[in-house]
Amino acid sequence: MLEKIEEATHYIIGKAKTTPKIGILLGTGLGGLVDRINIKASIPYEGIPNFPRSTVEGHMGNLVIGSLAEREVVVMQGRFHYYEGYSMQQVTFPIRVMNALGVRVLIISNAAGGLNPQFNPGDIMIITDHINLTGDNPLIGPNIDTLGPRFPDMSQPYTKNMVSLTEKVASDEKIHLQKGVYVGIMGPSLETAAETRFLRMIGADAVGMSTVPEVIVAVHSGMKVLGLSVISNLNLPDNLKPHSLEEIIVVANNAAPRLIKLIERVIQEVEID
């Protein structure tokens, strides 16, 4: 594992000649942030040693390195999902590589289904906490102590001062925000009405098929984490409607300019220790 991380990291540093401290992971329909980056290197995932390949529509697979809001960033344009058949270790491998590159702050985004009836499609939700309902965990197996502790503390996976900074810049920019709990499921089937009711009852405000594994590994690595969900559809158990990937991408695309503004402002102001 350490060798694989080292190999990928070495390859990326060779191409990009820089080691950013801020990492960004862009979810479904949110890849447009890359247009705002002053790009130094855009590296297709398939060229990076030991990286899995992205297969899902709407997900491009590039690691983009450059500057955004005058700070160096490394951006994952597209992610790997557990439901594609990758192991949890494969899904989170890029986070291990970001850590090896020197990333200390991770901003992670996704498109998610809203469970909180107060939400509207297109809302941006700051993730304040998560529930791991994927049935798996990327830290299963022997722990590599140089990467992080055996039993990482999860009392505050989403860094409080990242949440308050995001709320402050959103208020400056007049961007409406929600806050809530994200539940990560395995997918790829969407939720039944009964499952939707259950997820709401256990305290979730949004549901999706990503993010939880990557955040667990980011916490294991000691990173500060900010999680942002674009609510692409609303799932209400007594009025559950079919949703298509096309619809989810359209809503995410519409929210993208607001999300991008938010991320840029956060990057401008975030303190890295």
Which residues sit at the interface with ligand HPA, rule CB under 6 A? 111-113, 190-191, 207-209, 232-233, 235, 243, 248
Q: How far is the CB of 169 from ligand HPA (least distance, A)?
A: 25
CB of 251 to ligand HPA, least distance (A): 9
Shortest gap between Cβ of 209 and ligand HPA (angstroms)? 5
For the CB of residue 13, give the shortest distance to ligand HPA in the complex, in Å: 34
CA distance 10 to 227: 28
In the numeric block, which tokens belong to residue 62?
């590039």
User: Which residue, 189, 204, 17, is CA-closest to 101?
Assistant: 17
Q: How far apart are CA 186 and CA 181, in angstroms?
A: 17
Give the residue at shortest CB distance from ligand HPA.
Answer: 113
Q: Which is nearer to ligand HPA, 148 or 208 (CB)?
A: 208
- For the CB of residue 35, give the shortest distance to ligand HPA in the complex, in Å: 23
**CA gyration radius, the chain:** 17
Asked if residue 162 lies in contact with residue 108, where contact means CB atoms within 8 angstroms, the answer is no
Please give the structure tokens belonging to residue 199.
């997820």
**Smallest distance, Å, CB 139 to ligand HPA?**
23
Nearer to ligand HPA, 24 or 209 (CB): 209
Helix 160-172 crosses helix 245-269 at what angle (to 10 degrees)? 100
- State the minimum distance, in angstroms, from the CB of residue 166 to ligand HPA: 21
Task: Single out the residue of 165, 140, 166, 161 nearest to residue 152, CA to CA.
Answer: 140
**Nearest one of 34, 38, 161, 24 to 105, comparing CA atoms:** 24
Residue number with CB closer to ligand HPA (50 or 253) = 253
Q: Quick one: tokens of 1?
A: 């594992």
Residue 160 φ/ψ, nearest 5 degrees: -60, -45
Cβ-based nearer residue to ligand HPA, 1 or 193: 193
230, 110 contact by CB (below 8 A): yes
Q: Which is nearer to ligand HPA, 101 or 248 (CB)?
A: 248
Distance CA 118, CA 230 (A): 14
Whichever of 118 and 164 has its CB closer to ligand HPA, that residue is 118
Token reading at 223: 């990173």
**Residue 147 or 190 with smaller CB distance to ligand HPA:** 190
